[in-house]
Amino acid sequence: MQQYIDFFKSERQTIDHACPPLLNAFREKAGETFQQKGFPAYRSEDYQQTDMAGLLKGNFGFYLNPPGQNIDPYKVFYCNVPHLNTHKCFTINGHFYGEPTGADLPAGVFSGSLNTFARQHPAIFADYYNRLAAEKGDGLAAFNTMFVQDGYVLYVPANTVIEKAVQLTNISRGNNASLINRRILVIMEQGAQAKLLVCDHTADEESTLAATQVVEIYAGENASFDFYELEESTPKTIRLTTNFIRQEASSCVVVNTITLSNGVTRNNYRVDLTGKQAETHLYGMAIGDMKQQIDNFTLINHHVPACHSDELFKYVLDDEATGTFGGRIIVAKDAPQTKAYQNNRNLLGSRHCRMYSKPQLEIYADDVKCSHGMTIGQLDENALFYMRSRGIPADEAILLLKFAFTGDVIQGIRLEGLRDRLKLLIEKRFRGELIKCQGCI
């Protein structure tokens, strides 16, 4: 921890150099918060299985300058699954590549660099940036605010609808052990509608690359927003994300995170339902083998009456993989007529893999409908025997059962092209094929 505090103080001028003053203004307070809190404590209530300080204690280098323009992700990376019609944009090591992509978007929409947005829309930026991270975050979020130099912003004005989904591809690359800090800010004003797909990829398989990411999502009254995350990285990649979501009355937010390949992943989701009849659907799926680690933590706060949250996370683990799910739903005393459901289901294929699960409900109101549950098991032997008796080879029968297990998470995706893509990628993943959604040409 001290090494980062010292680095922040000694390199402050370099850190600030390429960023607008409005972004830099948040660093000092974040530095004080990090110095006070540090990284979240290992074995604490919310970090039972992930040692943040241990993961980041290595001698990481920082990318403090934008990538060279000789890197063209539009040519180096391509989508090998057809029919995914999206507005495409990229970040490279946390820096947005290119200019805002507004030419084919509705008037008033901004889709582009965090720095550019701060310069062009300072009042809106000041109202939203770091508001949730400072209020709800921990030392990890403060660490990101200290060092982040760029990121991505999606701003959708009131009553504006983006018909096509926006696809953001985060590319991490480096020849040495590197620490990347990136930011995503989503502002959905009243009645706005949009979908955002974020794909994470690592271009260099031999280097240890760690990434911290803070996402802040604001859904105004009657807004609708879908947020999909797809991680396909390498065994040497460390991905540490914190997602903050605040919803106003009658808004609907769908979050679906898929981890197909990784090294160590920790995803935090902190949702605040602050307007009546707000609705949250939070889904996740992880496929782990070898020695992969996938840790998802969720906290959903029902502050007001008549809101609905639905939460489902599924893990398929094999070899010596480790999975962790920690989920907490809090229903405040002023939130009657709440509907809140939480479920974690896990499929283990080896005696050496491990799954840790802790679903929780805290209910302080009457007149609610809430439930939570967790299951850990293996493939259904009767179903496997039945399929074998019908002439289906053992390997194919196992694949079909695993694929069926993931089905309801995939069906929660309201982007048809993405559903088709994931069905293909999940099948290949279970077959043990080396896959990437984005491939090198």
Sequence-distant (≥ 6) Cβ neighbours of residue 108 within 8 angstroms: 156, 157, 160
* DSSP secondary structure string for all residues of 149-173: --EEEEEE-TT-B--SEEEEEEEE-
Establish how many alpha carbons lie within 13 A of residue 334's alpha carbon, considering only the half-sphere containing its beta carbon: 6
- pLDDT tens, N- to C-terminus, the chain (441 residues): 889 999 999 999 999 998 999 999 999 999 999 999 999 999 998 998 999 999 999 888 887 777 655 566 666 555 544 557 888 899 999 999 876 666 689 999 999 999 999 999 999 999 999 999 999 999 999 999 999 999 999 999 999 999 999 999 999 888 888 999 999 999 999 999 999 999 999 887 788 999 999 999 999 999 999 999 999 999 999 999 999 999 999 999 999 999 999 999 999 999 999 999 999 999 999 999 999 999 999 999 999 999 999 999 999 999 999 999 999 999 999 999 999 999 999 999 999 999 999 999 999 999 999 999 999 998 888 888 878 888 888 888 888 899 889 988 998 898 888 888 888 889 889 888 755 454 433
Contact between 29 and 135 under an 8 Å Cβ cutoff? The reply is no
Q: What's the pLDDT at 67?
A: 65
Q: Helices 2-10 and 139-147 sit at what angle, rounded to 10 degrees? A: 30
Q: What's the pLDDT at 120?
A: 96
β-bridge partners, 357:
325
Contact between 200 and 231 under an 8 Å Cβ cutoff? The reply is yes
Distance between CA atoms of residues 105 and 107, nearest Å? 7
Question: Taking Cα atoms as reference points, which of 321, 296, 317, 283 lies closest to residue 422?
Answer: 283
What's the pTM value of the predicted model, to 2 decimals? 0.94
Q: What's the pLDDT at 420?
A: 84
Distance between CA atoms of residues 218 and 253, nearest Å? 10
**Residue 94 Rama label (left phi>0; alpha psi -120 to 50; beta):** left
The Cβ of residue 388 has, within 10 Å, a number of other Cβ atoms equal to: 14
CA angle 212, 244, 370 (to 5 degrees): 130
Q: What's the pLDDT at 101?
A: 61
Q: What share of the chain is helix, strand, coil (3-state, %, to 5)?
A: 25, 40, 35
Backbone dihedral angles phi then psi of residue 23, each to the nearest 5 degrees: -70, -45
Q: What's the pLDDT at 348?
A: 95
Backbone dihedral angles phi then psi of residue 210, each to the nearest 5 degrees: -110, 140
Six token digits for residue 314: 């599924």
Strand 224-232 and strand 178-188: the pairing is unpaired
Distance between CA atoms of residues 426 and 383, nearest Å? 21
